[in-house]
Each structure stands twice: as structure tokens, then as C-alpha cells.
Amino acid sequence: MSRSVKLAVIAGDGIGPEVVTEALKVLEAATQTEPVTFDLTHFSLGATRFLETGDVLTDDDLAAIIEHDAILLGAVGGVPGDPRLKNANIERGLLLKLRFSLDHYVNLRPSVLYPGVPSPLAEPGEVDFVVVREGTEGPYVGNGGAIRQGSPHEVANEVSVNTAYGVERVVRYAFDVAQNRARKRLTLVHKTNVLVFSGSLWQRIVTEVAAEYPDVAVDYLHVDAATIFLVTNPSRFDVIVTDNLFGDILTDLAAAISGGIGLAASGNINPDRRFPSMFEPVHGSAPDIAGRQLADPTAAILSVALLLDHLGLSDASARVSAAVTADISARTTSGTGAAEPRSTSAVGDAIVTRLTD
Amino acid sequence: MSRSVKLAVIAGDGIGPEVVTEALKVLEAATQTEPVTFDLTHFSLGATRFLETGDVLTDDDLAAIIEHDAILLGAVGGVPGDPRLKNANIERGLLLKLRFSLDHYVNLRPSVLYPGVPSPLAEPGEVDFVVVREGTEGPYVGNGGAIRQGSPHEVANEVSVNTAYGVERVVRYAFDVAQNRARKRLTLVHKTNVLVFSGSLWQRIVTEVAAEYPDVAVDYLHVDAATIFLVTNPSRFDVIVTDNLFGDILTDLAAAISGGIGLAASGNINPDRRFPSMFEPVHGSAPDIAGRQLADPTAAILSVALLLDHLGLSDASARVSAAVTADISARTTSGTGAAEPRSTSAVGDAIVTRLTD
Ligand SMILES: CC(C)[C@H](C(=O)O)[C@@H](O)C(=O)O
Ligand SMILES: CC(C)[C@H](C(=O)O)[C@@H](O)C(=O)O
């Protein structure tokens, strides 16, 4: 008997539709032999939709999305500086709205430097770590305000909100991830010497939960020091657990050292499964190269691997990862040294071929 | 007629005293021929002092320091995890207390990759930029609190406070710096898509002040994207202006790509000259290597160059920079390739010799 998975697809703006097309091809190919079918609903959301209708994400959109088992998102956001988008904050109104409404308290971002992939680092060593970024608290809560806006006496505040409940659940998830990895190492990254209240909370919870995971070795780094180690000794990291904003910053840096944002996948996960989780490449909509088959769909395809894993289809997930690894190593070793640039769909096709041959 | 400068010296903890000794030797040598004398007062402050007396920074200490024209600081902070320091936050109680009390609203942090210095980047290109970090606002204000501490219902908040007054004065300073540099480029780094209130304020002030500096080219990067460019294309940066927390993170990364924290100097500046400015290496007290003449005093010595410049002694400042540049290039080209490790005082002596020969 075949299980049916309702998948909401938000292709979005810019290169989003192109990379999602390839991701869906791969999803299909990887699950051909599995007892599962995907029932897709395409949602037109993002800057394009806003420019046409004035809506970013309506209550009806959200209600419809919640009916799904999972979400695949390409990228959202219009051309930077477009005056028509001035009053539409697509990031807060769509992307963060989904993450918060669907209680995506784990933002999972693996960083792997695949063999042969160039890194900006002279001696990257082995890069294979996962950032478990908190997704529903911290400075991202939108709890800010300003008075006397536009005047020389303006005061603008932003409140970072952190709860024991919110920190504990993500920390526990991170320990589970660490427990299941070979090196079993967890690094808390924060800025406890300056942000003493939120920092103490994170530190306390990590210490408390650590007692339940005696096999996991725990250490701590200030966020500023963590950026140094990411470029001088990335191999020291196995699992990083950190708050929403620090996670945002560290994962872009992590992507940069491990082959670029074109390879970085992410899962916005609600581990309770009360709401659909959402899988998306870390990259943005890159409107400058959109529609020209120039985008690398690998990050979107690796996000499909995370999606499959979340759905319990771990064999299919492993097949996608293996096909991507093989594709990447073929790119970098194919004869002349410099890889030929391939179109977005050529990359998708090559990975599909590996899955179906 | 010779001018007398009252200099408060806070050697501090760990390697602080060692690097300050060398910095003072260099200060003396560089100003021998200048119509200036330095009148030094040594302040015993830091973890060592706290362990002896229980005081971090008394009102009397602060009042005495304020009587000086400038401050040279080595490094403060005890052995991480020392239980006796648990309730003494030396960072907030001393370092940040000085920066805030003395209205150090500009935290100036140049990054230069000197010829021959190894960088973790495979192709660093030319690295020569300055970060102008705000020093008295943002998430550093200490405006946080927690309820139900220690319980599963704890809530811990941190408030980032940003004012038009505070942002404008540092932005104006950054434009002045950019105006006086060859490339005249200024990049605002923030996270305007998420921190919309503080982000709008920063964006508005930069746009307003930019109108007065038509020669300066301005652009904007989100903080996450800025970390990517710092490792993939650092040459794109000339002057970065950013908030207190983003500046903290970016300057450690900047130090890492430009030869390490052993070379990174900083000035905590009160441009109004109502209070003494404070010059310090970016590195910490490194208690693990303290007292063994293993620390590189170069960052402290380059902080002396910033101090001299602040005092209007720009010739002496330039001589210190030139002597450091020459010393660094001698380290990296001296015969065998691998530089011999020199003691802390040997580095200071070598730079002094270049200044006095
Ligand atoms: C687009 C933006 C709101 C988002 C974030 O800050 O989380 C992005 O940078 C990311 O990392 O997914
Ligand atoms: C020690 C700490 C409070 C300080 C900061 O965060 O500003 C340090 O990291 C720095 O950059 O000078």
C-alpha cells in the first residue's frame, strides 16, 4: 500500500522556480521504488505575487499550507531596492511568518565540504558539521519598536526574547543529533559575556541537558571566536547549537567555506510534527541571474534529501546525497580541471540519471 | 616647549602586562624626537585585582582614569571557568564599563594583511579595510533581564537600544574616515530585513549623511552576506560601519583572515575628546600562554600607532606602522621560510631598533 505525502511547493521568486523544478525531478526519481506518492500543491507566493495582488501571505494561504505534510521552498524576494517592494517585507511577512507560525524551532543546516569542491580556505581540512539554529526566538521575534521615527530624537529598540521552553527543545534536538554522529561533539555558540541574561539561560540549559547525554562532549565558544575557528580550523566542529541570529550569521560563513551558498541546504523543522516542516536552500532568489538556467540547483536538491529524511524515507535520502556527491566529484575531476558550467536543468538531469541508472 | 600627555596604563591580566611592556618601549622610542613627554599612571585592574580585592572597577578608579588624556590597555580576564570569577563579569564590569562611561562611541578596527603574512584564505587578495564599530549602543547596552530564573518557565530578554543621536555620530565618523581613504567606499552592515526598527534607523541615517559626502560610494550588506564576502572577496571592503554586536563578530573574522588576532589593533575613541580614548589589542588575556614570553606584542604596538594618531602625533604614528610593517616582512622572508618564533620582548626590541636606528 502506498503512502501519500501532501507536499506544498513554494517555488517563489528569481531562481526559485528553476531550482525547484530540478529538486522535484530528483524527488520523483529518488522515490520511484518507494511505497510513497507525492501529492503536490503549488503556492504562488513571494515578491511576484505581492506585485500582482498586494498580498504577502494571507490567512487562507497559511491555512492551506498547514494542511500539508511538508513544504519545499525555492527562494523568495524581489530585486533589491525595487521601490514597489519598499513596504513589503517579504522576509518577515512570508519566510519568517512561515517559520514562526509553523513552529519551526529547529533550523538545521549541515555543512560539508565535498571532495574536490574548492573552498576559499587554503587548508580547509575536513569540514563536516551541522548547525542547529534556533528558529522561533531570539532577536528574530519581531519584538521591536521605534519612537520619533525619522527625527533626530528617534529611538529604535529590538528585543531578543529567549525562553527556557524554547531553548531546551532546540538544545535537546542538538544533543540528539550529536549523539547520532561519529564524533559526538556539541559546541554552544553565544555571547554570554555580553548578553548575560540570554547567555546564562542558554548556558544553564546546555549544562542541564548535557547530564542526560554523557557520551556527548560539550564545549562553548563566543560567537566572535567561533568565526575565527570557522576559517582557521573548521574540523573542530561537529554540532553547533546556537540562537537564531548567531545561527544566521554562522551558517552563511559555514556555507562560504564549504563550497558556497550554491551547495547549502536547510530544513526548518517542527520536530513535534504538529506543523509541516519546510525545506529550502540557504541561498536567496538571486534575481540578477534568474530565468537564465545559470543557478546551481544542488542546494535545493540537498534540501530534498533533508525532506526525505524527515519523512522517514532515509534510503531515498541517502540515494540523493550519494548522487549529489558523485555529481560533485564528477564536476571537479572531469579532465581539464576547470569544470564546464552546466545549465540548471543539466545538473538536475545528471543527478536524476545517477538515481535511475 | 614639550607637551605632557597623561597616559593611564591598564596592563591587565594574562599576557596583558607582557604586551604592554613592549608597547610602552615602542611608545617611548617613537616619540624620542617629538616635543612630547608621557606621564604614565599604572592601574591595577582585571581578574587578578578582583581576586585580591573583590573590586572590578570602583568609582575612584574611574574618576582617576578620567583625569588622563588617553588609556593603553593590554588585556583583561581570568582563566575561563575559574569558579572564583563566576560572579565577576570582568568584561561587562571593566571593559564595557570603561567603553560606556568614557563614551567610546567609535570602536575603530583596521584590518590589513601585511605582505608575507599567511592568511587562512587561499587567495586573500589585498586586505585593507577599517571597521567602524559603534561602541555605546545596540545589544551591548546591558538592558536585559530575566524572570523565573533557573526554572523551566524562565524568560530572558535582551534589548538592543539604538538612537538617531548615537547612530548619526558614528556614521558621520565613518564617512570622514572613508572620505580620507583612497577608495572612498563605505559599506553599511546590518540585518535590516529582520531587525526592521534598528535597521531602518541605521539605513535612514546612512542615507542622510551620505548626501553630505558625495565622493563616498555607499553600499549595504546584510551581516550574514558580509561574512561570505570577508572570506571570498575581502578586497571589496574599504570602510565598514556597523553596530556594536555585528562589529564584534565581523572584526574577529576580519582579524582571522588578515594574519590573526595577534596583529589586530583597536581604538575605543571618544571623538569629542570629552573623555580619554582607550587603545587595546583585539586579543584577550590568553592565560594559557601568560608569563612565558610567547605572546606577540604586535597588536598592542599597532594600538600605540592608533594612540599616537589620536594624539595628533601622526609622524610618530606612521613611524611605528612602518617599523611594524618592516618587522613583519622580515619575519616572513628571513631565509628559511618558516619564521623563528621570537619572544615577546624580542619582537618589541626589534621594532624599537628599527625606530631608533
Ligand atoms: C532572508 C532572511 C530573513 C533569512 C534569515 O535571516 O533567517 C536568511 O538569511 C536565512 O538565513 O534563511
Ligand atoms: C571581551 C568582550 C566584551 C569584547 C566585546 O565583545 O566587545 C571583545 O570581544 C572585543 O571585541 O573587544
Average pLDDT rounded to a whole number, residues A117-134: 96
Q: Indicate which residue's Cα is closest to atom 9 of ligand 2.
A: B248
Measured from the Cα of B99, ligand 2's closest atom is 7
Please tell me the pTM assigned to this model.
Answer: 0.96
Average pLDDT rounded to a whole number, residues B300-319: 98
The count of structural domains within chain A is 2
Q: Which chain B positions have a beta carbon within 8 Å of A204's beta carbon?
A: 150
Q: Is A296 annotated among the ligand-binding residues?
A: yes
Residues 245..274 of A with a Cβ closer than 8 Å to B: which?
245, 248-249, 251-253, 255-257, 260-261
- Co-location of A270 and A253 in the same domain: no
- Co-location of A175 and A274 in the same domain: no
The torsion angle over the Cα atoms of residues A330, A334, A339 and A341, rounded to 10 degrees, is: -70
- Co-location of A149 and A254 in the same domain: yes
- Co-location of A19 and A99 in the same domain: yes
Q: How far apart are CA B311 and CA A293, in angstroms?
A: 57
- Co-location of A123 and A233 in the same domain: yes
Contact with chain A for residue B191, Cβ under 8 A: yes
- The verdict on whether A61 is a catalytic residue reads no
**Domain span including residue A41:** 1-111+263-357
Q: How far apart are CA A103 and CA A8, in angstroms?
A: 16
Q: What's the 3-state SS for chain A?
A: CCEEEEEEEEEECCCHHHHHHHHHHHHHHHHCCCCEEEEEEECCCCHHHHHHHCCCCCHHHHHHHHCCCEEEEEECCCCCCCHHHCCCCHHHHHHHHHHHHCCCCEEEEEEECCCCCCCCECCCCCCEEEEEEECCCEEEEEEEEEECCCCCCCEEEEEEEEEHHHHHHHHHHHHHHHHCCCCCEEEEEECCCCCHHHHHHHHHHHHHHHCCCCCCEEEEEEHHHHHHHHHHCHHHCCEEEECHHHHHHHHHHHHHHCCCHHHCEEEEECCCCCCCEEEEECCCCCHHHCCCCCCCCHHHHHHHHHHHHHCCCHHHHHHHHHHHHHHHHHHHHCCCCCCCCCCHHHHHHHHHHHHHC
Ligand at minimal distance from the CA of A135 is 1
- pLDDT tens digits, A68-97: 999 999 999 999 889 999 878 899 999 999
Q: Indicate which residue's Cα is closest to atom 1 of ligand 1.
A: A91
At B337, is the pLDDT very low, low, confident or very high (cuts 50, 70, 90)?
Answer: very low
State the pLDDT at residue B334. Answer: 58
Average pLDDT rounded to a whole number, residues B218-237: 98
State the pLDDT at residue A86. Answer: 83
Residue B227, domain member (yes or no): no
Using the structure block, give the residue that is written with the C-alpha cell 550554491: A262
Report whether A25 contacts A352 (CB < 8 A).
yes
- Co-location of A77 and A140 in the same domain: no
Q: How far apart are CA B121 and CA A233, in angstroms?
A: 12
The finding on whether A194 has its CB within 6 A of some atom of ligand 2 is yes
Q: Measured on CA atoms in the order B145, B150, B155, B157, is the torsion positive or negative?
A: positive
Q: How far apart are CA A161 and CA B155, in angstroms?
A: 7
Ligand at minimal distance from the CA of B93 is 2
Q: How big is chain B, counted in residues?
A: 357
Contact with chain B for residue A156, Cβ under 8 A: yes
Q: How many CB atoms sit inside 10 A of residue B3's CB? A: 12
Return the active site residues of B: 140, 191, 224, 248, 252
Asked if residue A248 has pLDDT above 60, the reply is yes
Average pLDDT rounded to a whole number, residues B164-183: 98
- Co-location of A143 and A62 in the same domain: no
- pLDDT tens digits, A275-306: 999 999 999 999 999 999 999 999 999 999 99
- Co-location of A72 and A156 in the same domain: no
Contact between chains at B197 and A158 (C-beta distance less than 8 A) = yes
Task: Output the nine-digit C-alpha cell for B144.
Answer: 536585559
What percent of chain B is modeled with pLDDT above 90?
A: 92
Average pLDDT rounded to a whole number, residues B252-257: 97
Question: Searching chain B, which residue's CA lies closest to the CA of residue A92?
Answer: B194
Q: Indicate which residue's Cα is closest to atom 1 of ligand 2.
A: B91
**B332 versus A253: which is more confidently predicted?**
A253
At A337, is the pLDDT very low, low, confident or very high (cuts 50, 70, 90)?
Answer: very low
Using the structure block, give the residue that is written with the C-alpha cell 594624539: B311
What percent of chain B is modeled with pLDDT above 70?
A: 97
Q: How far apart are CA A135 and CA A75, in angstroms?
A: 18
User: B92 to chain A, minimum CA–CA distance in Å?
Assistant: 6
At B320, is the pLDDT very low, low, confident or very high (cuts 50, 70, 90)?
Answer: very high
- pLDDT tens digits, B75-128: 999 998 899 998 788 999 999 999 999 999 999 999 999 988 999 999 999 999
Measured from the Cα of B251, ligand 2's closest atom is 11
Asked if residue A36 has pLDDT above 60, the reply is yes
The closest alpha carbon to A210, from A201, A218, A221, A198, belongs to A218
Burial-class residue A217 by CB neighbours within 10 Å (0-12, 13-18, 19+): middle
Q: Is B336 helix (H, G, I), strand (E, B) or coil?
A: coil
- Co-location of A240 and A272 in the same domain: no
- Co-location of A183 and A314 in the same domain: no
Q: How far apart are CA B92 and CA B98, in angstroms?
A: 9
Domain boundary among A229, A258, A287: A258
Residues 88..107 of A with a Cβ closer than 8 Å to B: which?
89, 91-92, 96
Report whether A223 contacts A241 (CB < 8 A).
no
Contact with chain B for residue A113, Cβ under 8 A: no
Mean pLDDT estimate for chain B: 96
Domain boundary among A242, A258, A274: A258
Of B156, B164, B252, the CB nearest to A197: B156
Q: How many CB atoms sit inside 10 A of residue B212's CB? A: 10
Q: Is B85 helix (H, G, I), strand (E, B) or coil?
A: helix
Residue B131, domain member (yes or no): no
CA B11 to chain centre: 15
Asked if residue B315 has pLDDT above 50, the reply is yes
Asked if residue A339 has pLDDT above 80, the reply is no
Domain boundary among A212, A240, A258: A258
- Co-location of A270 and A216 in the same domain: no
Contact with chain A for residue B195, Cβ under 8 A: yes
Residue B124, domain member (yes or no): no
- Co-location of A227 and A291 in the same domain: no
Average pLDDT rounded to a whole number, residues A106-130: 96
At B336, is the pLDDT very low, low, confident or very high (cuts 50, 70, 90)?
Answer: very low
* Radius of gyration of the CA atoms of chain A, in A: 20
Q: Is B356 helix (H, G, I), strand (E, B) or coil?
A: helix
Q: Is B3 helix (H, G, I), strand (E, B) or coil?
A: strand
Q: Is B110 helix (H, G, I), strand (E, B) or coil?
A: strand
Residue B159, domain member (yes or no): no
Ligand at minimal distance from the CA of B98 is 2
Asked if residue B255 has pLDDT above 70, the reply is yes
- Give the CATH number for residue A138: 3.40.718.10
The finding on whether B39 has its CB within 6 A of some atom of ligand 1 is no
